[in-house]
Amino acid sequence: MSRDFHSVHSEPSGFLRRYVFSTDHKVIAKQYLALSMFWGLFGGATAYLIRWQLARPEAEVPGWGYVSPDVYNALVTMHGTIMVFFVAMPFLLAVFGNFLIPLMIGARDMAFPRLNMLSVWVFFLASVTLLASIFVPGGPASAGWTGYPPLSAKPEYTGVDWGLNLWILALALEFASFLLGGINFLTTVMNLRAPGMTFFRLPMLVWMQLIAAVVFMISVGPLIAGAVMLLLDRIAGTTFYLPEGGGEPLLWQHLFWFFGHPEVYVILLPAFGIILDVMSVFSRKPVFGYRPIIYASLVAGFLSFVVWAHHQYISGLDPRLAMPFSVTTILISVPFSFVVFSMIATLWGGSIQFTTPMLFAVGSLGVFIFGGLTGIFNGSAPFDIYIHDTYFVVAHFHSTLISAVFFGGLAGLYFWFPKMFGRMMNETLGKIHFWLTFACFILVFGPMHLLGLGGMMRRIANPLQYDFLKPLEPLNLFITIAATVLILSQVIFVVNFVVSLVRGKAAASNPWKANTLEWATASPPPHENFEKIPSVYRGPYEYSVPGASDDWLPQDRPLADAGAAAR
């Protein structure tokens, strides 16, 4: 590909153009990182309040005070909204996609740098809107993060007026931001790949970002339309979802879950890309089944559009539809099982180095298997009817998403931190952070399945009001203590992150001896990334090649040099 097609813009000189209104994809990635970390702390605080309320419903929460049922409903709603849309998506898609796609394909920037800047500022506006919703009269949205009508369709049902209107507006802005980002990701990879960078030489992370972008763009349209209708019901007197005017509440559930289930994979796939890249580097082995993993991920992306109704088995859905959706739900486990076995095969027989990124990658695999197995139970209609809307579902959902957001995302952040900031993170603190996070995760979400099997329902501020739930109180207290330690253990990461930014050891350009193109430039990369657009000679995972003097072969090493290394 000709050098002339690469996006080039001059280096900004002023503070505002360099750090605030920047068009540089690396700065934009860091802006997304700052926003997602802010929301991560906010979401963690809401989790703390929710758990203490469940453990001691009538007592004041240490550091906060009394949590009323109305406040509890708002906390649950905001926690789900924040963690899915304002932490998981910006962290896994926007941070890693923006920072790494141009570097990994050998481009100087995104195809549309100004559109990229617009996307992060639209996301900032969405964040401000969501924050503002907390402080309006009536408080923030409290109809659950799924926003089911009729509860969400009339202000008098929850007592929340503009809080929920702003919640809808914030989500619409967030969706718009990621649509802009997805267009940029696709166009950049299509048009700005370095010479020799064919599609089957792209790193896994790039492939997974592309598939996630397509799945998001296809699935989000109906929900945006549905959100507009919900807003009209609230402020214009329409009755799209209100039975008294001929509306249908179930319509929202169909629209929400047609987006909601693919959304899980929009979050999951970039994490898979991170895990596969990290595992290959620290196993010193090629990714096992590179092309089949891509095909399996495409199949999973397609199947994600035909499983949504398994969230609605008890909603009044025609019972004849239960079996077809059970079949498609269980069927989607096949391509994901293939990806999981490919990860295990990548590790098998490798020269494994248990660095902090590798620990989080392996931990992510273990947690995903744990969460994925419980998903098979949820896919079965007879079992799902029993555990629907209980803490079994909460435990499954968190196991799946935490494997991606926490373990997968942190594997990526520890791995690419040297490239982002030019400094190494502290390995000892990183490993302490991992083991505390992993152990506490098991202690929180393992027993939480038992709460669900015991019949404890979600979104209930005081489980002790029911006699049959009183025996579960000690288990709730145990989970709450473990969750508190889990949240506090993240302080170690924050300290490590901040101290490493200031005093971390200076990073070499390729500290992990990896092959992909981002390691071929300085740490951190200069403006426009490369002095000269690199040429690509091979795939991204040529490790431990027999006869080679080194156990890695960078993608941009010329064939003659590779041959000399082999001799």
Task: Tell me the per-residue pLDDT of 224-267, one tens digit each, with 9 for 90 and over.
Answer: 999 999 999 999 999 999 999 999 999 999 999 999 989 999 99
H helix runs in 380-472, sequence order: 381-387, 391-402, 409-421, 427-453
Task: Give residue-wise pLDDT tens across range 34-60.
Answer: 999 999 999 999 999 999 999 999 889
What span, in angstroms and rounded, lies between the C-alpha atoms of 84 and 417?
Answer: 23
Task: Provide mean pLDDT across the span 435-451.
Answer: 95
Q: How far is CA 126 from CA 199, 257, 531, in A?
A: 34, 22, 36
Which pLDDT does position 567 carry in this prediction?
Answer: 47
What span, in angstroms and rounded, lies between the C-alpha atoms of 105 and 249?
Answer: 46
Backbone φ, ψ for residue 423 (5° rounding)? -135, 155
Helix 249-283 with 333-347: angle, nearest 10 deg: 20
417 exposed, middle or buried (CB, 10 Å; 0-12, 13-18, 19+)?
buried
What span, in angstroms and rounded, lies between the C-alpha atoms of 194 and 106?
Answer: 5
Query: Reduced to 3 states, what is the DSSP secondary structure of residue 147?
Result: coil
Helix 409-421 with 249-283: angle, nearest 10 deg: 60
Report pTM. 0.94
Task: Give residue-wise pLDDT tens across range 147-178.
Answer: 999 999 999 999 999 999 999 999 999 999 99
Per-residue pLDDT band for 7 (boundaries 50, 70, 90) equals: low
Task: Provide mean pLDDT across the span 365-377.
Answer: 87
Which pLDDT does position 9 carry in this prediction?
Answer: 72
- Pick from 322, 328, 219, 202: nearest CA to 266: 219
What span, in angstroms and rounded, lies between the C-alpha atoms of 337 and 332?
Answer: 9
Kindly tell me if the per-residue pLDDT of 521 is higher than 60: yes
Q: Which amino acid is located at 453 in the chain?
A: L
Q: How far is CA 71 from CA 134, 154, 520, in A?
A: 11, 18, 51
Per-residue pLDDT band for 556 (boundaries 50, 70, 90) equals: very high
**Cis peptide, bond prior to residue 524, ω within 30 of zero:** yes
- Pick from 167, 90, 98, 91: nearest CA to 128: 167
What is the separation of C-alpha 97 from the centre of its chain, rounded to a whole number of angstroms? 12
Least confident of 12-16, 128-132, 387-391: 12-16
What are the DSSP calls for 508-532, one per residue? PS-TT---SGGGGS-SSPPTTS-SS
Q: Determine contact, residues 40/429, Cβ cutoff 8 Å.
A: no
What span, in angstroms and rounded, lies between the C-alpha atoms of 209 and 270?
Answer: 5
Kindly tell me if the per-residue pLDDT of 410 is higher than 90: yes
What span, in angstroms and rounded, lies between the C-alpha atoms of 554 and 520?
Answer: 8
The first and second tokens of residue 411, run together, are 């594997």
Q: Determine contact, residues 96/277, Cβ cutoff 8 Å.
A: no
For 170-235, the three-class secondary structure string (H helix, E strand, C coil) is HHHHHHHHHHHHHHHHHHHHHHCCCCCCCHHHCCHHHHHHHHHHHHHHHHHHHHHHHHHHHHHHHH
Per-residue pLDDT band for 2 (boundaries 50, 70, 90) equals: very low
Mean model confidence pLDDT for the chain: 92
531 exposed, middle or buried (CB, 10 Å; 0-12, 13-18, 19+)?
exposed
User: Which residue would you say has higher pLDDT here, 547 or 101?
Assistant: 101
Task: Give residue-wise pLDDT tens across range 77-106.
Answer: 999 999 999 999 999 999 999 999 999 999
